[in-house]
Amino acid sequence: MQKSHEIDYQILGDDMQMVEVELDPQETVIAEAGAMNYMDSDIQFEAKMGDGSKMNDGLLNKLFKAGTRLISGESLFITHFTNQGSGKKKVAFAAPYPGKIIPVDLSKHNGNIICQKSAFLCAAKGTSLEITFTKKFGAGFFGGEGFILEKLTGDGMAFIHAGGTVVKKTLNGNSLLLDTGCLVAFSEGINYNIRRAGNLKSMFFGGEGLFLAELTGVGDVYIQSLPFSRLASRVIQSAPSMGGRSKGEGGLLNRFLE
């Protein structure tokens, strides 16, 4: 693995944040397709199948990585933004929904961090993006985000986004329980599992879902207050029905009665 490019950055905004990255000549930042907000004219971008972390990556390995990203629902390509000018240039990336952008120095996380497959925004070139899978069937089947997670490896800066407010918890061998959708990212030394949310009455009528995520070990856990799935669910519930009322106000029932 090559050493990651040393990029400077600034987080802009509050509820709809973007990260502005400053690149020296020939420095590169990689990002998810469609994340770019604005850039200086001397910055050139190119869509590639690889993340650029390995200079001698063969075609078959690039196709395999691209295939795993496609299966996970991510874009087939990763966009590389490179400063081709003579001085410092800037490029900015925006989060796709209200929330926060979390800057992560991978060198302070033993070179690895695991996040939800949709949380990655951008990173310094040299950062490896790999799809990983939960080791336990229960964690994958009931974990809200499925079996598929994304592993970021490197020694530079990476940026992930989360919905609402972000809380960082540091575990020192203890356990933490949280809603499965509220988990954004965690250190590789954390064990991720799923446990039942209390007894049967609590599971079905407690309003907290059937299962909770249980994280145990030593490292950091990042938690979001507003998962996109929860936001989308509330929007759908409030959307007008054909009867003119929201679904939460009996619009669906009215359509059967009419």
How many other C-beta atoms lie within 10 A of the C-beta of residue 201? 8
pLDDT tier, 258 (very low <50, low <70, confident <90, very high otherwise): very low
Cβ atoms of 12 and 21 within 8 Å: the answer is: no
Indicate if the pLDDT at residue 249 is higher than 90.
no
pLDDT score, position 253: 43
Amino acid at 16: M
Strands 166-179, 128-133: pairing is unpaired
pLDDT digits (tens, 9 = 90+) for 216-237: 999 999 999 988 766 666 677 7
- Res 205 pLDDT > 60: no
Q: How confident is the model at residue 192 (pLDDT cuts 50, 70, 90)?
A: confident
**Cβ of 195: how many Cβ atoms within 10 Å?**
14
Please write the tens of the pLDDT for every residue from 101-125.
Answer: 999 999 998 899 999 878 899 999 9
**For range 171-191, the mean pLDDT:** 89
pLDDT mean across residues, the chain: 79
- By CB atoms closer than 10 A (0-12, 13-18, 19+), residue 146 is middle
Is 250's pLDDT higher than 80? no
> Could you tell me the pTM of the whole model?
0.78
- pLDDT bucket at 81, cuts 50 / 70 / 90: very high
In the predicted model, is pLDDT for residue 70 greater than 70? Answer: no
Spatial distance between the Cα atoms of 188 and 224, rounded to a whole number of angstroms: 18
Q: What pLDDT is stored for residue 11 in this prediction?
A: 95
pLDDT in the model for residue 65: 59
| Mean pLDDT of the region 23-29 | 96
User: What is the per-residue pLDDT across 130-167, written as a single tens digit (0 to 9) for each?
Assistant: 877 655 544 444 444 445 788 999 999 999 999 988 99
Residue-level pLDDT at 69 = 56
Domains of the chain as residue ranges with CATH:
8-248 (3.60.160.10)
Residue 34: how many CB atoms within 10 A of its CB?
Answer: 10
Closest CA to 18 of 118, 83, 103: 103
- State the pLDDT at residue 91: 97
Percent over 70 (pLDDT), the chain: 69
> Average pLDDT for residues 176-201, to the nearest whole number?
80
pLDDT at 142: 47
236 vs 203, residue with greater confidence: 236
Asked if residue 27 has pLDDT above 90, the reply is yes
Q: How far is CA 151 from CA 116, 166, 183, 188, 236, in A?
A: 9, 19, 14, 9, 31
pLDDT at 57: 60
H/E element, 203: helix 200-205
